Structure 1
Amino acid sequence: MGDRMPVVRAAVVQAAPVFLDRERSLAKALEWIARAAEAGARFVVFPEGFIAAHPVWYHFHAATSRESLRMARELVENAVPVPSPTTEALADAAARHRVYLVMGVCERHARNPGLLHNTQLFFGPDGALLGKHQKVMPTVGERLVHAPGFGDTLRTVPTEFGPVGGLICGEASNPLAVFAVAAQGARIIAVSWPNHFSKNEHGMRDVILMASRAMGYRTNAFVLSAAGTIGPEMRERLPSSAEDAEFLARPGVCGGSVIVDPHDRGPSRQRGDRPRGRRGDAAGGGPGSGRGHLRQAGARLRGPLQPPGGLPAPVVHGPAHPVRGSAAPAGCPGPDLAGRRGRPHGAAGRGGGRREGTVMQPVDRSDMLRALRAQLAIDPKRTAVVLVDAHRGHLDLAVATMPVAPEDAPGVREALARLVRGARAAGVMVVHVVMTHRRLPYPGAESMTNPFWRAVEAAKQSLIPGRRSTIAGHNLEGSPQTETLPELGPEPTDYVIRTKKRLSAFYGTDLEFLLRTHGVETVVLAGINTNTCVLCTAFDAFNRDLRVVVAQDAVASMYGEDLHAFGLQNVARCLGWVLPVDEILALLEAPVGSAKARD
């Protein structure tokens, strides 16, 4: 009979926000999420900058005009920090309706209120913030208010149906941006589009349809394009002339949402003012009404969504720059792992053994993880950031003897730098633990006394998939590989431990003595590798009754994304908390026992 491929129902919301009003736009978004879920949607995608506006006024007003400056100020005031009550409300809605949610927002940096990004937020059906994508290069009027996004946010996020990627407007026609998402195995690509283009550009509907069809064909992915419309507040405030008002009133200026089959079948067709699909429903007003409508389609994805033996994607509690830590490799199940197909989690087959060829299925532990997150508070005075092998031997690709993937190194280094800067500012002790091996007459280095490592070298194999590495030559005493990264210090207030020989930062070192001397109760772990040295250190910290927090975007594994994901899963479900750097720093800044520290 073969395998039956699952059917995934998706909805793209075509609507206008309540212009420059964050709270009312949020309320409108929550209504649309509920309507999409009632119609059976599992994925819901919103337009660009839906909360609370996209800077379309620059199509009509000079940048330094009084009206432009007024609206730019309102945009800052109504932008969305991550995390914030707005993101909590969106997370709750995603969890309540059990949907994957992609929301377009104008993001405001938590510690720099003048810094804005054009952002997509990805929420899972458990309410977890799976990741975010910031538009890498702002275009047209965006350049006046939006900063360029971080390249490490151009990542897929894990879902039970496989990796999902996101792009914003012009990125849909950028070959490198499309390739970056496709190369990570995206099966669904969510594209957020603005309310309208300028009077002097191609028609937005034509561009959306053309770009979406081309992307679906090139990437063999389903493309969910959500376009905005023009609301009554926009019609009142945007025009600077009668010609502008006439342009905004034209049928077909806004909208154009579409869902595209990889082979351009059925749901990609547009008819009249709204796209229609093979199996779609529509509700609400037409695209120009400001009321919006849903575009829905059910599509049978072609190709297995989870190969037998797939490993779990990492469990994350709410990333800000995750997206390293929260991106799942192609073919990995969504955020959680479980028992065998057809049996409840924990149930054993006859004889208690695992049958060959069984498939690991996701188990929903979201309630447990959210409850644990509510219990977490961090006292900076009793916390240490422990950097495990965050050195040039892994992260400086010019000299590394056991390098992480080239695409991972920049994002991890940036996250590590943010972590140590924020920790020092909060008065938190920073400890650098660096593996260092002496040279020996036989067998050549201290690493070679380990029988497994010696066997790997003797077999002339690499521990790193697809890249060369050397255990015998790794981090030899006095080599450049043992140097810490320049952006990490050490600063005079830091501590450096260079006696690490094996996987755990505790084994054979004085790390425990140092932590106990300073009264440390919580360790924040970051570095390389997620599934070996970081994980072993987490186990040893747990065994010493220390509170364990792993900075998910400041860790990586040279062994591959599957084992990186496994390491994060193991910590999140068995040992401690897995949080993005920005959330950890927010906890360090919050007074102990405050609502912010718990929420």
Structure 2
Amino acid sequence: MTIVKAAAVQISPVLHSRAGTVAKVVEKIRELGRKGVQFAVFPETVVPYYPYFSFVQPPYAMAKEHLRLMEEAVTVPSADTDAIGAAAREAGMVVSIGVNERDGGSLYNTQLLFDADGTLIQRRRKITPTYHERMVWGQGDGSGLRAVDSAVGRIGQLACWEHYQPLARYALIADGEQIHAAMFPGAFGGPLFAGQMEVAIRQHALESAAFVVNATAWLDADQQARLAKDTGAPVGAFSRGFLTAVVDPEGSIVGEPLTSGEGEVIADLDLALIDRRKRLMDAGGHYSRPEFLSLQIDRTPTAPLIDRGTRTRTRPGHLLDEHTPEA
């Protein structure tokens, strides 16, 4: 496939409702499918919603909101992931989406990647939650720092400030990603946050020679007012910092980015542009000088329990158990 029609989706969650947000996402996938979209990226932890409360509330005050998020978080697999997969299959679309994942008593910032046949082909967790997020989410591991083959090409995923980690990005660059799914929460930080986001995604496109499809979430005025009431924060804390955009391998923004409101940026990705860029500078190949500059990565999935009696590695947070002989 040479041309991929891609959509970066700026969408509002249905606050405090997993079911409501999943239904909204499913309907958006169907709508994009009718427009011929083959690949779509949704915002960071849009299901059920980003933990905005953790940005404005001190730890001692966030118990109520934290518990509410736990109750509405997504289990993988579940009827919720089945519904998103079914919508992807119906639309014939590859879908990247951010969710709050619940695994036992823990929450994780998780990116899910569904192939065009609805199969869940990657579930990765943000390796280090940022600042206030550490009060909400656990840490991921290196197993998700890889690109994955899909119906539209080889896809890598990172969330938010993971784009500020050059080695995490290089893991995907060296793994040959062609399309990069980037997602941010939006809603705070103002023009500075949006400007930094633009720098990050354009730089990654330049270094990777990949297309970057970046999605941020949107909060309307009623949602901002509701969050302000629930957390005691000013409304203005939730009303700024959005940039939903597509970037080509030359680092140029394709079309007009979205900085307000719900909607999507749709663009045709000509994958032939990747070779035209890499001919000049392939950061994972002829330009890399691996004899003295290289990345060492441990992609071993972590787990709190390894059952040596059955010689089975228990892998919560991953798709399959792995039968591994004892060392």
Per the normalisation by structure 2, the TM-score is 0.83
CA distance in 2, matches of 1:77, 1:173: 31
More strand by share: 2
The total of aligned residue pairs comes to 303
Match of 2:34 in 1: 38
User: How far did residue 240 of structure 1 move?
Assistant: 7.3
User: How far did residue 219 of structure 1 move?
Assistant: 0.8
User: Residue 197 of structure 1 contacts residue 203 of structure 1 at CA under 8 Å; is this kept in 2?
Assistant: no
Distance change >3 Å, CA 243–CA 151, structure 1 → 2: closer
User: Residue 16 of structure 1 contacts residue 195 of structure 1 at CA under 8 Å; is this kept in 2?
Assistant: no
Match of 2:225 in 1: 235
1:226 pairs with 2:233: no
CA distance in 2, matches of 1:145, 1:304: 38
Query: Matches of residues 39-78 of structure 1 in structure 2 within 5 Å?
Result: 39-65=35-61, 68-78=62-72
Match of 2:278 in 1: none
Question: Which of 96, 102, 127 is the equivalent residue of 1:102?
Answer: 96
Distance change >3 Å, CA 260–CA 235, structure 1 → 2: same
Match of 1:87 in 2: 81
- What is the root-mean-square deviation in Å for CA atoms of aligned residues? 3.1
1:215 pairs with 2:204: yes
CA distance in 2, matches of 1:72, 1:146: 10
Question: Which of 228, 240, 244 is the equivalent residue of 1:257?
Answer: 244
- Secondary structure class of the residue paired with 2:264: strand
1:147 pairs with 2:147: no
- Secondary structure class of the residue paired with 1:411: coil
CA distance in 1, matches of 2:131, 2:41: 23
User: How far did residue 234 of structure 1 move?
Assistant: 4.0
User: Residue 94 of structure 1 contacts residue 125 of structure 1 at CA under 8 Å; is this kept in 2?
Assistant: yes
Question: Which of 270, 286, 291 is the equivalent residue of 1:300?
Answer: 270
Q: What does the per-residue CA deviation read over 1:531-565, in whole Å, with 9 as the maximum and x for residues that have no partner?
A: xxxxxxxxxxxxxxxxxxxx9x99xxxxxxxxxxx
Distance change >3 Å, CA 99–CA 48, structure 1 → 2: same
CA distance in 2, matches of 1:222, 1:123: 18
Distance change >3 Å, CA 91–CA 242, structure 1 → 2: closer
User: Residue 191 of structure 1 contacts residue 225 of structure 1 at CA under 8 Å; is this kept in 2?
Assistant: yes
CA distance in 2, matches of 1:430, 1:198: 48
Distance change >3 Å, CA 73–CA 190, structure 1 → 2: same
Question: Which of 176, 179, 186 is the equivalent residue of 1:185?
Answer: 176
The one-letter code of the counterpart of 2:68 is: E
CA distance in 1, matches of 2:73, 2:80: 10
CA distance in 1, matches of 2:107, 2:238: 26
CA distance in 1, matches of 2:195, 2:274: 32
User: Residue 142 of structure 2 contacts residue 297 of structure 2 at CA under 8 Å; is this kept in 1?
Assistant: no
CA distance in 1, matches of 2:274, 2:216: 30
Query: Matches of residues 257-336 of structure 1 in structure 2 within 5 Å?
Result: 257-265=244-252, 267=254, 269-270=256-257, 274=258, 287-288=260-261, 292-302=262-272
User: Residue 119 of structure 1 contacts residue 133 of structure 1 at CA under 8 Å; is this kept in 2?
Assistant: yes
Distance change >3 Å, CA 241–CA 76, structure 1 → 2: closer
User: Residue 134 of structure 1 contacts residue 154 of structure 1 at CA under 8 Å; is this kept in 2?
Assistant: no
Match of 2:291 in 1: none
User: How far did residue 258 of structure 1 move?
Assistant: 0.5
5+ residue gaps, structure 2: 276-283, 285-295
The one-letter code of the counterpart of 1:169 is: C
5+ residue gaps, structure 1: 276-286, 306-329, 331-405, 432-487, 489-525, 527-550, 555-578, 585-599
Distance change >3 Å, CA 166–CA 150, structure 1 → 2: same
Match of 2:281 in 1: none
Q: What does the per-residue CA deviation read over 1:214-267, in whole Å, with 9 as the maximum and x for residues that have no partner?
A: 110111000011001114334312357997214445xxx142101001113451
User: How far did residue 97 of structure 1 move?
Assistant: 0.8
Distance change >3 Å, CA 189–CA 266, structure 1 → 2: closer
- The percentage of counterpart residues that share the same residue type is 28
CA distance in 2, matches of 1:155, 1:266: 25
Match of 1:244 in 2: 234
1:131 pairs with 2:122: yes
1:115 pairs with 2:137: no
Match of 1:514 in 2: none
The structure number with the bigger radius of gyration is: 1
User: Residue 229 of structure 1 contacts residue 254 of structure 1 at CA under 8 Å; is this kept in 2?
Assistant: no
User: How far did residue 15 of structure 1 move?
Assistant: 1.1
CA distance in 2, matches of 1:58, 1:226: 21
CA distance in 1, matches of 2:297, 2:231: 48
Distance change >3 Å, CA 6–CA 79, structure 1 → 2: same
